[in-house]
Chains A and B, each alone.
Chain A
Amino acid sequence: MIWLTWRQFRLQAITAAAALAAFAILLAVTGPHLASLYSAAGIGTCHGGSCGQLASAFLSQLAGPYPTLYLLGVAVIILAPVVIGIFWGAPLIAHEFEARTHYLAWNQSVTRTRWLAVKLALPGLAALAVTEGLSLMQAWWAAPIGRAVGLGGTAGGIARASRFYPLVFATHGITPLGYAAFAFALGVTAGVLIRRTVPAMAVTLAIFAAVQLAMPLWIRPHLFPPVRTTTAIGSDISIAGGGPTANYTLTTFTLPGHPGAWILSSGAVNATGNPVSSFPFCTQAGLRSLSSTMTCLASHGIRVAVTYQPAGRYWAFEWTETAIFLALALALAGYGCWRLARRRS
C-alpha cells in the first residue's frame, strides 16, 4: 500500500521538493547579506536605550529586495497549507471516485481503512514537513529582523509587527504544522463526502479561508484571559475623533515596559479609572500637535487603559493553536475514515 501511495504521490512530492529547493536557494542567496547588515548596525554590542534606536535604524535602512522578500516568504507560508489542502487533499480520494479506480483499489487484499490510513499518512506527513520546512527557512532568514523588532526597533510596514501580529504569528513557530494538517485533512474529507474533485477543492478553500479569518479575529485573542492595566500616556500613541460631538479615542501601539505584548484594546481613562472620550480641557481649541495634546492630557490625570496578552505567552498561544488545528485535523480524518468504512462506495 505504501508503494502504491508513493507511486500516486510521486509527482506532487517532486513538485513540492522543487518548490522547497527554489525557496531555499532564494533565501540562502539573500540571507547572509541581511545578517551582515544586522551585524554592521552594531546591535550586537549595544546597551540599554541605544538598542532600540540602533534597531530602528537597521529596520528603516532595509530597502531594496528585503521587505519584498520578507512579505513573499510570509505569503508562501500562509498559502502553502491551503495549496496543499486543495491540490493534495481534495483530489486524494475524490479523484479515485471520479475515475472509479476505487473499484480497483478496494478489491485488492487490503481493507479500505488501511488503504485510506496509508493514503492519509504519507502525503499528510509530507504536507507537515513542507510547510514547517518553509517556516523554518523563513525564520532563519528573518531572524535579524525579528531580533531588531524584539529590541523595540520600529519602522514602517510589517517590520514593526510583534510576534503576535497575525501574519507573523501564523507563519512562525509551530502553527504552520497545525494549518497544514488541518487543510490536508479538510481536503481529503471534503473529497470523501463530495466525491468530486473540483467542488471538493472549492469547499476546502472556502472553509479554510473562513477558519483562517475567524481564528485571529475572534478566537485567538480569547484563548487565554487577557491582562488589563493602566499606564501613563506614552509616546507610541494616536488620538482620533473630534467633530461636533468632540469625542476622541486614544490608541496605544506599545505598552511601555512590556515589549512584544499583544495589545488587544486600549482607551483613555480618567484619574478614577473610568473611560473617558471627551477632553474639553485639552481640545477646546481643536487638536494641537500630538505631543502637546498628550502632555495636556497627562497633566489632567488621563491615563491609558490597556487590555493585552503578555509577550511571555507567545509559546502558550503557539502550542494551543497548533493543538486545536491538529485536533481538528484528526477529527476530520477520523470522520472521513468512518464515512468510507460505513457508507461503502
Chain B
Amino acid sequence: MTAVVEARGLGKQYHRNWALADCTLSIPAGHVVGLVGPNGAGKTTLLNLATGMLAPTTGAIEVLGARPASGPAQLARVGYLAQDAPVYAGLSVADHLRLGAHLNPGWDGGLARGRIERLGLDPGQKAGSLSGGQRAQLALTLTIAKRPELLILDEPVSSLDPLARREFLQELMEAVADQDLSVVLSSHLISDLERVCDYLIVLVGSRVQVAGPVEELLATHHLLSGPRRDPATLPGGQHVVSASHTDVQTTLLVRTKDPILDPAWTVSEVGLEDLVLAYMSQAAAGGRRRNHLQEVPR
C-alpha cells in the first residue's frame, strides 16, 4: 500500500506553542480518508504542512513521495481546499475559472464549466456575494478542475447548513468516482464524514489514536455489557478502549480481531460516531495531564 501522506516526527511550533508535535502517520492511497479529531488536535496544521503552506519546525513530511509545494509539478498534483473555502470576493465566478485556467497546465475547462452550470451558479456573479455553500462549491470546482492526484479538504462542510453539506459531499463523491482521486478530509465531527469516508484516522493531541479502513474498524470493535467486572480480567486479545460502570453493570468498548465468546456479555454493534468519541475521550483524559496544544493561529 503506497502512502499519499507520510509524516515522521512532524512538529510545528508557533512562538512557544506547539500546534503539532512529534506526529508520525501514514495516509494510504486510493481512499477517502477522514481525519477526525477535536479542535486543537493539529489537523489544520498537519494539512497546511502537507500542502506546503507551512514549513515544519521538526521532522519531515512527504506527499505523493515528494516535498510539499516543492515546485509547479508538485503543486499541480495536490489540490487543497482550505478551511472556509477562501475565494476572491471581488472576482466573479467566471474570473475564478479563468484564474484556474491560467494558473494550472492540467486545467479541465469543460469539467469546471459543466460543474458551474450544474450547480446553477451565475458566471457573472461576484464570489463575495455567493452563499457559504455556493462558495464552497466554487472552491471545490477550482480544486477539482486542476486535476490533482490528491485532494485535501480542511473542514470542508463545518460551516455549511445540512442541505449544502449533503450537496457538497455528493459533488465530492461524484468527482472521486470519476477521477480516481485520493482524498483527505478533516473534521471535528465524524457525523460530517461518516457517509463518505472509507478510511479513518483519529488524531488527538498530535497523536494518531486509531487508524484503519472504516469497515475493519467497525468489525473489530464491540460494545460489551454485562454484570459488573474488572476490565483487567478480559482475555489478552481484547483491548479496552473505554469502560463505564454502574453498581451492578459494566459497559466496555473493546477492540479485538477474535470473536467474543464469554456468554456473560451482551455484544452489540458500535457506530462510527461512538467509536470515534470513545477514542477521543480516552485520549483527552490522558492528554489533560500531558501537554496542552493550542488551536492553530490563522
Query: Restricting to B125-139, which residues have a CB under 8 Å from any CB of A?
Result: 139
B139 pairs with A104, CB closer than 8 A: yes
> Which of A111, A112, A343 has the most CB atoms of chain B within a 10 A radius of its CB?
A111
> How far is A229 from B70 in the complex, measured between Cα atoms in Å?
63
**Interface of A: prevailing SS:** loop
Min CB distance, B286 to chain A, in Å? 30
Q: Which residues of B contact A99 (CB under 8 A)?
A: 86, 88-89
Contact mask B75-109 → A, CB, 8 Å, 1/0? 11011101010111111000100111011111000
Q: Which residues of A contact B54 (CB under 8 A)?
A: 344-345
B98 pairs with A107, CB closer than 8 A: no
Q: Which residues of A contact B51 (CB under 8 A)?
A: 107
B142 within 8 A of A: yes
B48 within 8 A of A: yes
Query: Restricting to A1-46, which residues have a CB under 8 Å from any CB of B?
Result: 1, 3-4, 7-8
B103 pairs with A108, CB closer than 8 A: yes
Determine which of A103, A109, A112, A344 lies in contact with B105 in the assembled complex, contact meaning CB atoms within 8 Å. Answer: A109
Q: Which residues of B contact A342 (CB under 8 A)?
A: 55
> How far is A100 from B48 in the complex, measured between Cα atoms in Å?
13
B3 within 8 A of A: no
> How far is A108 from B95 in the complex, measured between Cα atoms in Å?
14
A109 pairs with B146, CB closer than 8 A: yes
**Interface of B: prevailing SS:** loop
Query: Restricting to A321-345, which residues have a CB under 8 Å from any CB of B?
Result: 342-345
With A103-B53, A103-B86, A343-B55: A108-B104 Cβ-Cβ less than 8 Å: yes
B235 within 8 A of A: no
Q: Which residues of B contact A285 (CB under 8 A)?
A: none
B95 pairs with A107, CB closer than 8 A: no
B105 pairs with A101, CB closer than 8 A: no
> How far is A309 from B298 in the complex, measured between Cα atoms in Å?
54
Min CB distance, A250 to chain B, in Å? 61
Determine which of A4, A101, A109 lies in contact with B75 in the assembled complex, contact meaning CB atoms within 8 Å. Answer: A109
Q: Which residues of B contact A109 (CB under 8 A)?
A: 72-73, 75-76, 103-106, 146
On chain B, which size bracket covers the interface?
A: 35 or more
Q: Which residues of A contact B78 (CB under 8 A)?
A: 107
A224 within 8 A of B: no
Q: Which residues of A contact B79 (CB under 8 A)?
A: 107
A106 within 8 A of B: yes
> Which of A103, A106, A112, A345 has the most CB atoms of chain B within a 10 A radius of its CB?
A103
A110 within 8 A of B: yes
With A110-B75, A112-B69: A103-B100 Cβ-Cβ less than 8 Å: no
Min CB distance, A340 to chain B, in Å? 11
B86 pairs with A1, CB closer than 8 A: no
Determine which of B53, B87, B89, B98 lies in contact with A345 in the assembled complex, contact meaning CB atoms within 8 Å. Answer: B53
B30 within 8 A of A: no
Closest B residue to A106 using CB positions: B53
> How far is A71 from B197 in the complex, measured between Cα atoms in Å?
69
Q: Which residues of A contact B76 (CB under 8 A)?
A: 109
B226 within 8 A of A: no
> How far is A103 from B296 in the complex, measured between Cα atoms in Å?
15
Interface residues of chain A, those whose CB is within 8 Å of chain B, are: 1, 3-4, 7-8, 99-101, 103-104, 106-112, 342-345
3 nearest interchain CB pairs?
A108-B103, A103-B82, A109-B76
**Would you mind naming 26 contact pairs between A and B with Cβ atoms under 8 Å apart?**
A1-B102, A1-B103, A3-B99, A4-B99, A7-B98, A7-B99, A8-B90, A100-B84, A100-B86, A101-B87, A103-B53, A103-B86, A104-B82, A104-B86, A104-B87, A104-B88, A104-B139, A104-B142, A106-B52, A108-B103, A108-B146, A109-B105, A110-B75, A111-B75, A112-B69, A344-B69
